[in-house]
Structure 1
Amino acid sequence: MLSPAVGNWYRDIETGALFEVVALDDAARTIETQFLDGEVTEYDLDVWRMLQLQKAAAPEDWRTPFELDDEDGQDPDQPYHPEEWNSPVSTIEPDTMLGVEDS
């Protein structure tokens, strides 16, 4: 029997399903897992012990079902500077500004 650990990936030998342990609740004695298709399920510790599991490596494309991209991994507290901000065109001021009239 493999002990569950948050962040570890496992393969169910009977079904071939690949999943990650995403949460443990010691008080309720449950293990929450998430499959590649995004489905989340919860196992009772007794049921977990009956599963035939093997440790598995995280698949290369595990983020695909969640539609995550590289920007999702960026720190939201860090300033974001798009490439266009460094463009010389962005420093050109227009001759007129819409909505502003000279007095």
Structure 2
Amino acid sequence: MAQWLSELAVGRWFVTDGEPFEIVGIDADSEVVLVQHYDGTLEDFEFDTWVALAARPCAAPEDVSGAFDYDHDDDPQDERSSSSAGRWRDPLDFLDLRDRT
């Protein structure tokens, strides 16, 4: 097996000259690597194209929510939302919520 093929795994992040992207699928029978860019765009590469791409492994971005079009302001439980920014929350406030379900 080629060395580059052993580095491929679903969930690993790679980078070329542009933005990093994540491998979301590998089809060894069809010789295709499916990747998802940070903005959510899906793209597939045949193995020959992947080798020519010369993608290098990299760390995942700190905030991987870009592909999910997630807005922190929409989540009232998110500490980064504008409605709760700078406000301290007591963890004991959430104990009652657990009993209601």
Quick check: TM above 0.5?
yes
What do the CA deviations read for 1:24-55 (whole angstroms, capped 9, x no partner)?
00110000000000000000000001112211
Displaced runs of 4+ in structure 1, greater than 4 A? 68-71
Aligned to 2:27: 25
In structure 2, the CA distance between the partners of 1:24 and 1:82, relative to structure 1 (3 Å rule), is farther
Partner in structure 1 of residue 47 of structure 2 = 45
Structure 2 segments unaligned to the other structure (5+ residues)? 78-94
- In the other structure, the counterpart of 1:8 is 12
What is the alpha-carbon root mean square deviation over aligned residues? 2.9
Q: Are the aligned partners of 1:2 and 1:54 in contact in 2 as well (CA < 8 Å)?
A: no
Q: If the length of structure 1 is used for normalisation, what is the TM-score?
A: 0.60
Q: Distance in 1 between matches of 2:42 and 2:96?
A: 35
Computing the radius of gyration over CA atoms, which structure comes out larger, 1 or 2?
A: 1
Residue 64 of structure 1: CA displacement? 3.2
Aligned length: 75
Q: Matches of 2:23 and 2:96 in 1, distance apart? A: 36
SS at match of 1:33: strand
Q: TM-score, normalised by structure 2?
A: 0.61
Aligned-pair identity (%):
29
